[in-house]
Chains A and B, each alone.
Chain A
């Protein structure tokens, strides 16, 4: 019997090759999308779930309740040690100081310098106890001694090539570090990805800031990580309470601003407040989009089945008379859909394998997506096939059950009118496509807006070059050298460009006010040339003088207003103590954005901190850029022989602030394109079937004198009406959805009416081109042929 099903299914699919191809193509594209989204979503969800006690491992984080709540993922070593000592529910834990950047020297004979950016961590062997790493060589216990290092395979290869790394030496700041172990490279799905681990005990020698790290409770910085392993997840509230209790004596009155909390390790990847990189809501949206695209393809299939129903009912009637039960007839339908979907699934897998590297390169370049397990992917595809077939089987099952044999076998079988359901499905399909089109247009506009809006400073042709802990003398030599370069307009030593994702700031005391202000100000740290280099516009007072005896500050207008209201210019000449330094305000600059435009402008102080000014920002005039960069490199290597030259244009850096938005834009754009292609395939199938079924009517109309254009328009209009109907629903739907999304941004565009005009026009045009060709072809056919064929 199975053989008979397969044989008939194969013949039917072959006989209606055009429709079969439409279905296979539509389903393959939709399944391809679903598989890709599955790869993306499951990859994101797998982050750091593979560690030994992932479910009971927590990161110590804190909320700082000032006027606005600040979130910090860092915690002090002192607190970690106390927690390990005093809280019995804590069974294990690890501490590290990560994302460190140093110049590392490798080799003894021919010393090679490597600039390591934010991939160095200081820790001890406990780290490898809590987090799962595979030891390739050596012993991790060695990391508990002074002057030792653990490398990943990749890093060992980079430093020592094929020579075994164990026992070799590295140097940072002239301090030797012996390699005691090599671990396998980090898997892709982890946020704990340092490449070099130095023994924590050595940190004191390298960074004097860490001299008292064991008892400095205030040393909370986002690079200091504490992880605690609890007995069970139920212990979390108790441990959180105890953390706050044990911290109390050390923070005194200040404790009321702090709330220490535990962030589950598996949530870390998704909590944007604490440095997570992926929004769970994005994953939800993607899953919904995947389902919608799949629905579009399934609707195509069902529509074609319904449209062919009249033709098929005679066959079904005959088979019933010959003794077929409804179940057996359904099997015939199911065999056909299973064959179609299986071919589509194979095609989809092929598509995914071909497309994944491409989108990893262009869309996910910052965080490439990796397939965890192809077997799992295969199983998912199988599940997809099963679900699709179940859904596609519902209609035939329903139809076969209420099937009337005598009706079907009537000598002149009248066409069964099932138009309404089919029309509803076409409307639904178009609705999905149009929602996605409108979404794409709006997201593209918003991202462009974010990237191009005036941030109050000049970001063109400014190059950021790290100079590490260069001495004053070296900085002077760099300044002198650059002064002679004709294409350099300005140079400033600073911590960062104005727009950056790393935050620094403090609460402050103004003028002679007895109380500190209860809001923090952001810091923009740089020398006097900072304002000129980044084009900050001075609107009151004067620029700072680096040589002044008391420190001088610039504040932005927002801050001036927060301090003095409408008399904001009066802040000039007043005393200010932002954090530690005490000085006076000498000027007010126009508001500029220190963060991405996700956040509103914040009160900002421009100040000097020599130790933190580890970057050199160079403003170029845009001519002979390559040559100038080369000369800069020469000057750099001469002046700073122990550093490694590397540079980055800050507009690129700014673009990377909007990585998440750009990614969303790409994903939605891709989804919209897919939905349009798939629903167009469906329309193409439907219109060709409809014209086929209406051949006789078209012939009669022509004989009665209708022109080609009249008939063509009549046939197209039927479909265009449905597209229009979908638009009516799509407008309020997408307006609501997209406004909701835009609320995430402090600065956002307004949705204009023409977005929908554009969406509607686009949808209409696509539908018209799809439908029009077939319609006019049918309209041009000779009526003699169509009327004779009875």
Chain B
């Protein structure tokens, strides 16, 4: 599904190149649940952003659903991720001015989905994540766990093949965190959503099917659970 070949990301500092990622090779198959771990500054988030096409590598090749991403133009790239990738953030990044319902609906609006279809999809999502009662509330009126739930519902509304999560439980207490991880596991196993998450927590990493450890921009180890 996803294949990274010799991906590097560096910044020029004076005459030197500072590598954030250094020739990373990585393959992820459909249906995997990968956890990326590593100390601060090891390049976890950068790797995730490159996979999500929000950021571009300095060097290397990347294939997503057999498309050579490194050869695509900006527009094609954004069309590709728009349809196939969902994002979940540590800080949720819900839009303050929108209700729960509208937040979940937003990606559909940008994909020009018809109104009736939108309604059905959003209603489904609300139902599935058990937040029907909260649909008219604004983000500020929700707890952190509830906000992240909405964030996940929003990420999944357009049925992406790949879900990227950058420390999804970082701002949550342990109980809320556990619930979110259970949900991820369920999504992975029952709905077949491929998930790649970045996490600091050994415990959360255990929910996945593979753990990749990054160190200084290189893959240090890859452990299949």
Contact = CB atoms under 8 A, between A and B. Distances in A.
Given A323-B78, A405-B54, A318 B107 contact: no
A8 B97 contact: yes
A15 B96 CA distance: 10
A85 interface: no
A321 B87 contact: yes
Contact of A322 (B49, B52, B97, B154): B154
Contacts of A475: none
A315 B110 CA distance: 15
A305 to B, nearest CB: 16
Contacts of A321: 52, 54, 87, 93
Contacts of B93: 314-315, 317-318, 321, 409
Contact of B107 (A15, A323, A325): A323
A574 interface: no
Nearest to B90: A411
Given A1-B109, A314-B93, A8 B98 contact: yes
A369 B85 CA distance: 64
Interface string A1-39: 100100110011001000000000000000000000000
Given A314-B93, A323-B78, A4 B49 contact: no
A322 B54 contact: no
Given A322-B107, A322-B110, A315 B87 contact: no
A52 interface: no
A318 B151 CA distance: 11
B97 A409 contact: no
Contacts of A4: 102, 109
Nearest to A8: B97
B97 A11 contact: yes
Q: Which residue of B49, B55, B106, B111 has the most chain A CB atoms within 10 A of its CB atom?
A: B106
Nearest to A322: B107
Interface in A304-332: 314-315, 317-319, 321-325, 328
A406 interface: yes
Nearest to B158: A323
Q: Which of A8, A319, A409 has most chain B Cβ within 10 Å?
A: A409
B109 A12 contact: no
Contacts, number: 53
B23 interface: no
B95 interface: yes
A12 B95 CA distance: 11
B91 A411 contact: yes
A323 B95 contact: no
B68 to A, nearest CB: 22
B95 A319 contact: yes
A729 to B, nearest CB: 39
Contacts of A7: 102
A319 B102 CA distance: 12
A322 B106 contact: yes
B97 A406 contact: no
A406 B95 contact: no
A323 B110 contact: yes
B89 interface: yes
B90 to A, nearest CB: 6
B90 A315 contact: no
Contact of B89 (A319, A325, A409): A409
Interface in B144-185: 154, 158
A341 to B, nearest CB: 20
17 contacts: A1-B109, A8-B98, A12-B97, A15-B96, A314-B93, A315-B93, A318-B95, A319-B95, A319-B106, A319-B110, A322-B107, A323-B110, A323-B158, A324-B110, A405-B55, A406-B49, A411-B90
6 tightest A-B contacts by CB? A323-B110, A323-B82, A318-B93, A11-B97, A322-B107, A405-B54
Interface of A: 1, 4, 7-8, 11-12, 15, 314-315, 317-319, 321-325, 328, 405-406, 409, 411
